[in-house]
Amino acid sequence: PFQTLTAPAPFADETSCQCQAPHEKLTIAQACLGTPVDRPVRVYADGIFDLFHSGHARALMQAKTLFPNSYLLVGVCSDELTHKFKGFTVMDETERYEALRHCRYVDEVIRDAPWTLTPEFLEKHKIDFVAHDDIPYSSAGSDDVYKHIKEAGMFVPTQRTEGISTSDIITRIVRNYDVYARRNLQRGYTAKELNVSFINEKKYRFQNQVDKMKEKVKNVEEKSKEFVYKVEEKSHDLIQKWEEKSREFIGNFLELFGPDGAWKQMFQERSGRMIQAFSPRQSPNSSPTRGRSPSRSPSPPWVFSKASPPSSPKAASASLSSMSEGDEDEK
């Protein structure tokens, strides 16, 4: 079952050897079968492990999984040996030790490991096999420091990870030195800490100021583009609304003032009413008239004739009676 790691791998000189069973020499075929059953197969891998990266981790993963039941010991060379036989390191030995302790595939870390493996060292740590890539490693006057391990049948090869190595990482830093120096000056490191001369410091700081100005100009340009885009978008929406409103206005105008519009009908109705109001219809000529005597014209009963008034009351009463008779005749 999967075991969760809760602590870094121990150092070999701080613990007793965990292999208590008698150490018998194994063949690779026996180790592949998972024997012996009473102890794990002890595999050793060594190196400098400067700037610990994924290529290191993959090599250790292969060493750990070479056999079904294995215990991986990792030897790390000291600064003294490394500077003597290989060159200057970026990380010191303490940093490199700690980097190995926190790799999940490592069971035990051996500090100040030897440059060339001796029988005494192999016996002390009860090492069954040594894991390393199969490329001959020439160093310390030898064409291959693992030659005697291969001849003893104790060597198991691993595969290198292409495209990643400590030398590649250092090459990237050297190639982009100006960029890293400028960035770290900007972060607060001093020119002395970065080993930068006075002239280069001023140059890098000036370049940082130029980059800041470029960044500001770039931000202004981006904001301007965003503003123009928003204005274009809003103007497009506004024009579209104007077009919709103009079509609506034209439609309403034609509906009201067009050839068959409501305004014409209303005007015609009002014109007809005005004409009728100013010139009413005359009465018909064939209207019936009251029957009257052709010889007499109507006259009000109170109109008196031009005859002289009656000279006596009797004469007045006689004239009133004659008028009443005449009215009866007209009726």
For helices 262-278 and 198-257, give the axis angle rounded to 10 degrees: 40
Instruction: Pick the closest to residue 144 from 129, 159, 134 (CA basis).
Output: 134
Residue 146 CB coordination number (10 Å): 21
Q: Where are the domains of the chain?
A: 28-158, 166-267
The structure's pTM equals 0.60
Give the integer Cα–Cα distance in Å for 114 and 117: 6
Q: What is the 3-state secondary structure (H, E, C) of 164-233?
A: CCHHHHHHHHHHCHHHHHHHHHHHCCCCCCCCCCHHHHHHHHHHHHHHHHHHHHHHHHHHHHHHHHHHHH
Topology of the domain comprising 28-158: Rossmann fold (3.40.50)
Q: Which spans in the chain are helix H?
A: 28-32, 54-64, 79-85, 93-101, 119-124, 147-151, 166-175, 177-187, 198-257, 262-278, 313-330
Neighbour tally for 51: CB within 10 Å: 19
CA nearest to 194, candidates 181, 206, 178, 211: 181
CA distance 222 to 84: 55
Q: Is the Cβ–Cβ distance between 182 and 207 less than 8 Å? A: yes
pLDDT tens, per residue, the chain with 331 residues:
445 677 899 998 887 555 555 678 888 888 888 877 778 999 999 999 999 999 999 999 999 999 999 999 999 999 999 999 999 999 999 999 999 999 999 999 999 999 999 999 999 999 999 999 998 888 767 788 999 999 999 999 999 999 999 999 999 999 998 888 888 888 888 988 888 888 888 887 887 788 778 888 888 878 887 777 778 777 777 787 877 788 777 777 777 766 766 666 777 777 777 777 766 555 555 555 544 544 554 555 544 444 445 555 555 555 545 554 554 444 4
Query: CB–CB of 72/132 below 8 Å?
Result: no
